């Protein structure tokens, strides 16, 4: 749908949003009408360079032609049936994913948070049925992020964050340990702990990659204590960090892993994969979803992951990610550039991340801010060096502008 076909002006459309929608988002002030490859276009046809990727979703490129074709083909045949009959896209996608990432079983959901609900439920049921009714405790990482439904929110170790404020009490059965601190994780494990759950790279928490020793240490700890290693790869999965799944890059296999975002190529889908042993916990009637495994979303997902695999986009993420980090180090006020593949964070020595985000937007570059001092860059994995150069040059101006504003503000306050 395009604005010109509605008879409304942009301001009138935004007024409708203000009047009728529950607004929890701080929006970029433009109407996204069209997308292609590395760019979004507004209602006037202005192009925005996309280092946001629909929040790490459009990894195979915005509106990837193969994904679009798959959606069109599938809608011509059947759109929705619920999960009683078999459908072709579901079966083919299940096989493709499990074979590619070395997992035995998959359960389809509609989003990242739901995928994590499934993983938490699977682990808790496995624990209770294997070891007894008290065995449902899970240790997760401080500063992690797992979603906004109650199980996933309770697993999110950010008690002071707006996403938890006003929603307490959280679900019992979770404790939180310092990310990348194996000793702290060990100290939080009790006789009733059934699993450890982390993101291989904390995305929303500021782009903090797990160290190799930490990942290996958690696997060993889980093996020694009969616990499960649960990985949330909603953001890191399907090429983002330079390997198909981030765990494949670490060479550390989890018992369960979740995915969403890039998996769907722009259609809403998520999934939880598990080894046979753990997956068995979910049996007939114990879990379900009206839309989970939706034929159109599965067809899109099959096309999206096939594009990611066939075009070696994880390799491009590795190469371009290294180049991006190298170039970001040239920005003024850089304290640290972190990341893995194309999940990139740049932290400044002053709290200007939000201002940098808006200054980039005014220059038609889309990036995110996480916290006061860190910008996150999560572009489609199809990008080239030219896109990196264009983004970094824009950011140089944006950082200079934001830093000047910050310094002027400080001078005003101290005058
Ligand atoms: C690591 C991680 N887990 C879970 C989620 C929640 O996914 P969704 O917004 O699809 O529910 C996100 C979203 O950003 C995420 O980054």
* 3-class secondary-structure state, position 382: coil
Whether 246 contacts 213, CB under 8 Å: no
For 12-19, what is the mean pLDDT?
Answer: 96
Task: Tell me if 113 CB under 6 Å of ligand 1.
Answer: yes
Determine the pLDDT at residue 346: 97
Residue 234 Cα to ligand 1 midpoint, Å, equals: 6
- The pick from 260, 266, 267 for probing ligand 1's pocket by mutation, whose C-beta has the most ligand atoms within 8 angstroms, reads 260
Give 170-179 pLDDT, tens digit per residue. 999 999 999 9
Q: In ligand 1, which atom is closest to the CA atom of 268?
A: 10
CA 79 to chain centre: 26
Rounded CA-CA distance 132/185 in Å is 22
pLDDT digits (tens, 9 = 90+) for 237-291: 999 999 999 999 999 999 999 999 999 999 999 999 999 999 999 999 999 999 9
**Do 59 and 308 meet the contact criterion of CB atoms below 8 Å apart?**
yes
Topology, domain 65-310: 3.40.640
Say which CATH topology domain 3-60+312-414 has.
Answer: 3.90.1150
- Nearest Cα to 53, choosing from 209, 227, 265? 265
Q: Which two tokens stand for residue 17?
A: 């949003």
pLDDT above 90: residue 358:
yes
- The preferred substitution site among 117, 241, 261, 368 for testing ligand 1, maximizing ligand atoms within 8 Å of CB, is 261
Beta bridge partners of 271: 108, 259
Q: Per-domain residue ranges for the chain?
A: 3-60+312-414, 65-310
Which of these, 82, 108, 73, lies nearest to 93 by C-alpha position?
A: 108
pTM over 0.95: yes
pLDDT digits (tens, 9 = 90+) for 194-220: 999 999 999 999 999 999 999 999 999
Instruction: Work out the pLDDT band at 159, boundaries 50, 70, 90.
Output: confident
> H/E element holding 99?
helix 88-101
Percent of the chain exceeding pLDDT 90 equals 98
When mean pLDDT is compared across 160-164, 167-171, 322-326, the lowest value belongs to 160-164
pLDDT of 160 reads 87
Q: Whole-number mean pLDDT of the chain?
A: 97
Residue 407, pLDDT above cutoff 90: yes
Sign, CA dihedral 240-217-107-174, equals negative
The verdict on the CB of residue 376 being under 6 Å from ligand 1 is: no
């Amino acid at each position: 749908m395009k604005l010109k076909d509605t008879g409304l002006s942009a301001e009138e459309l935004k007024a409708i949003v203000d009047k009728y929608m529950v607004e929890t988002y701080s929006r970029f002030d433009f109407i996204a009408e069209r997308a292609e490859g590395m760019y979004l276009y507004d209602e006037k046809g202005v192009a925005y360079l996309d280092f946001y990727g629909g929040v790490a979703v459009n990894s195979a490129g915005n509106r990837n032609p193969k994904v679009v074709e798959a959606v069109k083909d599938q809608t011509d045949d059947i759109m929705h049936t619920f999960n009683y009959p078999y459908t072709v896209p579901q079966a083919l996608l299940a096989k493709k994913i499990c074979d590619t990432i070395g997992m035995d079983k998959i359960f389809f959901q509609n989003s990242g948070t739901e995928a994590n609900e499934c993983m938490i439920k699977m682990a808790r049921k496995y624990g209770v049925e294997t070891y007894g009714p008290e065995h449902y405790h899970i240790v997760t990482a401080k500063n992690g992020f797992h979603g906004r439904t109650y199980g996933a929110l309770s697993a999110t170790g950010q008690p002071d964050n707006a996403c938890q404020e006003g929603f307490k009490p959280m679900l019992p059965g979770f404790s939180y340990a310092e990310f990348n601190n194996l000793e702290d994780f060990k100290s939080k494990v009790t006789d009733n702990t059934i699993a450890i759950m982390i993101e291989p790279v904390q995305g929303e928490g500021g782009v903090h990659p797990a160290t190799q020793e930490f990942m290996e240490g958690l696997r060993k700890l889980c093996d020694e204590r009969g616990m499960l290693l649960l990985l949330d790869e909603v953001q890191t999965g399907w090429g983002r960090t330079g390997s198909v799944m981030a765990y494949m890059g670490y060479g550390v296999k989890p018992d369960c892993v979740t995915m969403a975002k890039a998996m769907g190529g722009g259609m809403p889908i998520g999934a939880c994969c598990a080894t046979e042993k753990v997956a068995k916990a979910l049996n007939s009637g114990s879990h379900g979803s009206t839309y989970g495994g939706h034929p159109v979303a599965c067809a899109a997902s099959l096309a999206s992951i096939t594009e990611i695999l066939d075009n070696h986009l994880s390799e491009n993420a590795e190469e371009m990610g290294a180049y991006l980090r190298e170039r970001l180090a040239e920005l003024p006020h850089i304290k640290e550039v972190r990341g893995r593949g194309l999940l990139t964070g740049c932290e400044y020595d002053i709290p200007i991340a939000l201002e940098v985000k808006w200054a980039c937007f005014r220059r038609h570059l889309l990036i995110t801010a996480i916290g006061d001092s860190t910008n996150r860059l999560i572009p489609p994995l199809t990008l080239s060096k030219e896109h990196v150069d264009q983004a970094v040059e824009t950011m140089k101006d944006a950082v200079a502008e934001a830093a000047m504003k910050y310094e002027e503000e400080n001078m005003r306050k101290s005058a």
